[in-house]
Amino acid sequence: MASNTLFPVKLPGGEGILPCQEIHDLITTGKIRSSVPITAGQVQPSSIDLRLGNVAYRVSASFLPGRSADLITKANRNGMLQETIDISCPTRLEPKLIYIVPLMESLDLPSDLRGIANPKSTTGRLDIFTRLITEYGDEFDRVPRNYRGGLYIEVVSQTFPIIVQAGMKLNQLRFGRGRLTAAGDEQLNKLHEGQSLLDADEESGQSNIDRGLRLTVDLQGNGSGIVAYQAKKSCPAIDLSKICHYEIEDFWTPIPRNEKLQFILEPNEFYILASKQRVRVSPEFAAEMLPYDLATQEFRVHYAGFFDPGFGYGTSGNVPGTRAVLEVRASQMPILLEDDQFVGRLNYFKMSAPPNEVYGGKIGSSYQQQGLALAKQFKRAQQNISTTGTNAYQAQREYLDTTPPQGVLEVRANEIEEDDDGSVLGQNLPSFFAEPRLNAKSKE
């Protein structure tokens, strides 16, 4: 049978995590849809930012819709729906309450694609817990093959009151095709030899490659006397549309370095710390941070696990590495945290193709040259920019360039200095889909 060469069928790309150009194709072909036109700025090197719709539902408990009913019907039926809120204008969401928000985007996925969602980095750094929900779904943050329907986000601000509005972006969705397995240690060692997965001057005293790239916590301060920030209670509301606006001391207590290079995490408190290593992700890979023990939940590290292609690397290796910022919440008991303590692994996953754009200033990435960096709503402390000379100027310029134009609703920050997730969206996605939780009880 002769083929019609005038209208060739576009074949799917290779196995791996989909880059931005394939995500654009999904938008063009209607596989990703929206009630409001999708903007180019939503598409990141290996994910798409999802936008809040015009309505939020306050519910009494977190839940999954399951197979028997759609999300809102189940909430009504079970008496969980407490309030319907119009968020088309700036609206305050209270801490500790659970909100379900329909997203502007919906999906009509083909049989070879599945998805995983994660909070954006700024979302995680504000201690805002988010989870994606699909209609009739029985898993959070997972989108199965062939899924056709709307998307919802569960939002719980665990510390601060927040002001949100329709169009803001709190989470992101990544797509995978085929069997996605993390690069093994042999491959990582070869990558490290050829591309330097870590800045050589920042390696800890521990072995750096062991079932992934090992990351440890920095309590020396990287040239600063501040090693962590602890969130304050009873703070004013944070308007997520404001960039470089709030004074750090109104919301955070700085934790200074001490002679013992250690401090105690208190139960139910939220902290921002940084990795000792400056990591690098070349454009052929995306990465995710995973804890070393998913079975225990003494404290949780890294709400936003996606690391984009080019994070700490740039387009051609011109960036010497970037520290991973760690969002940490202790749970049931005080935990002693020590300098260079092992806190998690960075797993690397092959892209289906290198992205046309990588993580960095040109796409509005807020944290490419970060040190110990808070969310971009706070005024940037000079000591938090771990660069010198022209790189320091570039980092400041990239940060300021992320401020949205007046009248544009945009929480920009491709934020993936830590953004990848892992668990199972099917058994062939081992760590690409696992919830990052961490045990601080021991070092390996």
Q: Indicate which CATH number applies to the domain containing 284.
A: 2.70.40.10
Query: What does the pLDDT read at residue 434?
Result: 34
pLDDT band at residue 201, thresholds of 50, 70 and 90?
A: low
**Comparing 384 with 313, which gets the higher pLDDT?**
313
For residue 382, count other CB atoms closer than 10 A to its CB: 9
Site of tokens 């949100």? 164
Query: What does the pLDDT read at residue 437?
Result: 37
Query: What does the pLDDT read at residue 7?
Result: 40
Q: Are residue 143 and residue 269 in the same domain, yes or no?
A: no
Q: Are residue 105 and residue 229 in the same domain, yes or no?
A: no
**Lowest-confidence range among 86-100, 125-139, 204-218, 278-292?**
204-218
Q: Are residue 151 and residue 222 in the same domain, yes or no?
A: no
pLDDT band at residue 344, thresholds of 50, 70 and 90?
A: confident
- For residue 349, being part of any structural domain is answered with yes
The conformation of residue 52, written as its DSSP 8-state character, comes to B
Q: Are residue 250 and residue 359 in the same domain, yes or no?
A: yes
- For residue 5, being part of any structural domain is answered with no
Exposed e or buried b for every residue in 207-235, given b needs 16+ CB within 10 A? ebbeebbbbbbbbebbebebbbbbbeeee
pLDDT at 418 over 50: no
Pair of tokens at residue 340: 């260079």
Q: Are residue 253 and residue 389 in the same domain, yes or no?
A: yes
**Lowest-confidence range among 128-142, 196-210, 334-348, 384-398?**
384-398
**Comparing 179 with 62, which gets the higher pLDDT?**
62
Q: How many domains does the chain have?
A: 2
- For residue 118, being part of any structural domain is answered with yes
Residue after which a domain boundary falls, among 177, 211, 242: 177
Domain that holds residue 30: 16-177
Q: Are residue 425 and residue 374 in the same domain, yes or no?
A: yes
Query: What does the pLDDT read at residue 206?
Result: 53
- For residue 442, being part of any structural domain is answered with no
Mean pLDDT along residues 172-201: 86
- With CA atoms as reference, report the closest residue to 288 among 307, 311, 313: 307
Q: Are residue 262 and residue 395 in the same domain, yes or no?
A: yes
Q: Are residue 170 and residue 201 in the same domain, yes or no?
A: no
Mean pLDDT along residues 166-176: 97
Residue after which a domain boundary falls, among 177, 212, 237: 177
- For residue 170, being part of any structural domain is answered with yes
Q: Are residue 228 and residue 162 in the same domain, yes or no?
A: no
- For residue 31, being part of any structural domain is answered with yes
- Stated pTM of the model: 0.80
- With CA atoms as reference, report the closest residue to 129 among 102, 153, 151, 157: 157
pLDDT in tens, 33-58: 998 999 989 999 999 999 999 999 99
Q: Are residue 225 and residue 305 in the same domain, yes or no?
A: yes
Q: Which helix (H) or strand (E) holds 416?
A: none
- Do the beta carbons of residue 163 and residue 238 sit within 8 Å? yes
Q: Are residue 247 and residue 394 in the same domain, yes or no?
A: yes
- For residue 108, being part of any structural domain is answered with yes
Largest Cα separation within the chain, whole Å, is: 77
Q: Are residue 197 and residue 134 in the same domain, yes or no?
A: no
